[in-house]
């Protein structure tokens, strides 16, 4: 197989209900030069056997299994260590890409002489039904904006591997993607999204507001550990985060 231009990182865990559609959304890309690296985090359902079926029929898909349940961060880091492509993209095992996703993003990077981009995305429920909601982002995203709010949907981000060298993925259970984007924006200062929806984000019943408090805890941990701020400073920054979430980010959530 020729060297892939894009390496797609996909962690999986008990994803038997969704993983086949996720893989098919990659296979349906109009841009064919990719490799999909799936790392399973000790699923106890039929996820592994479903993936193995696709592996047997498509050499662009590579499959690895962790020896113990370690979280999505570890799974993504293992996948990253296996990548051979020039670009790194991310897709979780329950989300979907629209067919033109890779083609449009790679052309956007070339046309704008950029090393990183992302896009808008649409939301669907657990059964795959559209929720008529689109998540957009600023036309030009700065490090300061990203500092207070993660505007980059993990399923839309793509970056040039050699330009950024190795961007380690945190082993924390949540917010690993935000740390990657912060590392990228710290270097390039500003980024532009492809200004259209190129993916479907699945909102799971078990990932809704029961996790709101957890989200705040993980964000606080980002300010404490990644940025190295003191406890008091991190508390003040969290006020800015809440302000962004309540008054600014809603501007970028549209009905469609």
Smallest Cα–Cα separation from 35: which of 73, 89, 96, 100?
89
The domain total for the chain is 1
Residue ranges making up the domain that contains 71: 6-207
Q: What is the CATH number of the domain that holds 29?
A: 3.90.550.10
In a domain, 34, yes or no: yes
Mean pLDDT by 10 residues, the chain (256 residues): 82 97 98 97 97 97 96 93 96 98 97 97 96 96 93 97 86 77 96 98 69 68 76 78 81 91
Q: Backbone phi, then psi, for 42, in 5-degree steps?
A: 65, 55
Mode of pairing for the β-strands spanning 141-142 and 96-97: unpaired
User: Is residue 231 in a domain?
Assistant: no
Reported pTM: 0.90
CA distance 163 to 43: 34
Q: Is residue 150 in some structural domain?
A: yes
Q: What is the DSSP string of 165-233?
A: ---PPP-SSS-HHHHHHHHHHHHHSEE--EEEEEEEEE--GGGSGGGHHHHHHHHHHIIIIIS---HHH
Is 244 inside a domain boundary? no
pLDDT score of 192:
97
Residue 232 lies in a domain: no
Residue 145 has φ and ψ, to the nearest 5°, of: -65, -45
């Amino acid at each position: 197989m020729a060297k892939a231009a894009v390496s797609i990182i996909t962690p999986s865990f008990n994803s038997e209900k969704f993983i086949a559609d996720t893989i098919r959304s990659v296979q349906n890309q109009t841009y064919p030069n990719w490799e999909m690296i799936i790392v399973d985090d000790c699923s106890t359902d039929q996820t592994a056997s479903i993936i193995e079926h696709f592996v047997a029929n498509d050499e662009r898909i590579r499959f690895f299994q962790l020896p113990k349940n370690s979280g999505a961060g570890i799974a993504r880091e293992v996948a990253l260590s296996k990548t051979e492509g020039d670009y790194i993209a991310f897709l979780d095992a329950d989300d979907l890409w629209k067919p033109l996703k890779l083609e449009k993003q790679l052309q956007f990077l070339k046309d704008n002489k950029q090393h990183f981009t992302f896009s808008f995305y649409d939301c669907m429920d657990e059964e795959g039904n559209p929720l008529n909601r689109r998540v957009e982002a600023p036309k030009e995203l700065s490090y300061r904006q990203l500092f207070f709010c993660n505007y980059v949907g993990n399923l839309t981000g793509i970056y040039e591997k050699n330009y950024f060298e190795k961007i380690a993925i945190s082993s924390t259970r949540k917010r690993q993607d935000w740390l990657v984007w912060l590392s990228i924006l710290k270097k390039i200062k500003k980024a532009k999204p492809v200004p259209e929806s190129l993916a479907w984000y699945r909102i799971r019943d078990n990932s809704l507001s029961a996790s709101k408090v957890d989200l705040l805890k993980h964000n606080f941990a980002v300010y404490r550990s990644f940025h190295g701020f003191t406890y008091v400073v991190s508390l003040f920054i969290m006020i800015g985060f809440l302000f962004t979430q309540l008054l600014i980010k809603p501007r970028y959530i549209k009905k469609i």
